[in-house]
Amino acid sequence: MANKGLLFVISGPSGAGKGTLCQHLLNANLGLRYSISATTRSPRPGELDGKDYFFLSKEEFMEMVNNDGFLEWAEIYGNYYGTPRKFVEEVLAQGEDLVLEIDIQGAKQVREKFPEGIFIFILPPSMEELRNRLVKRGSEPDEVVNCRLAWAKEELSYANEYDYIIVNDLLEDAVCKIKAIVLAERCKVRSPLK
């Protein structure tokens, strides 16, 4: 019988660099799978349905909510985001390790359902740099950027509830630290009952 896979939950404020870090982590040939989230927001330039997100209407999303189709879900800035439950459960049952890149609200829900997950909080080097990253995206008006910054200050208070905290200052250093966490967690002794 294969061991259950590990669930690596990577979250932090919008603009902290979660997506970039996850992309580098997945390209590092560590045998990690990426969980594709569902969302009701419009695709950003270059995003593809079924690759970056499953882009759903609000009606489709709420139907999945009502049928317990999400491991976690939340409404963020007027849009819905969620992690399809079936995909996560199947990957972990096959003994494969999975990376979830989700917001703080989603991570809290996942911790309730999968307390054995490995939770990694990504911090920006400063609030000024966070603002620069959000503005550089060019995908949101100033009022949305300001709203995200205000919310980020609140989100930072949750960092101590995570297993690990990584400051995403130098990309290469942050990627190396997350790779080290993955390798260490794979070597960790776990009870066979989990």
For residue range 47-63, list pLDDT tens digits in order. Answer: 999 888 889 999 999 99
For 7-187, CATH number out of 3.30.565.10, 3.40.50.970, 3.40.50.300, 3.20.20.100 equals 3.40.50.300
Quote the pTM value: 0.80
On the question of pLDDT at 194 being above 60, the answer is: no
Question: Considering only CA atoms, which of 115, 60, 48, 107 is closest in space to residue 83?
Answer: 107
pLDDT confidence of residue 191: 63
On the question of pLDDT at 2 being above 70, the answer is: no
Residue type, 116: E
What are the domain boundaries of the chain? 7-187
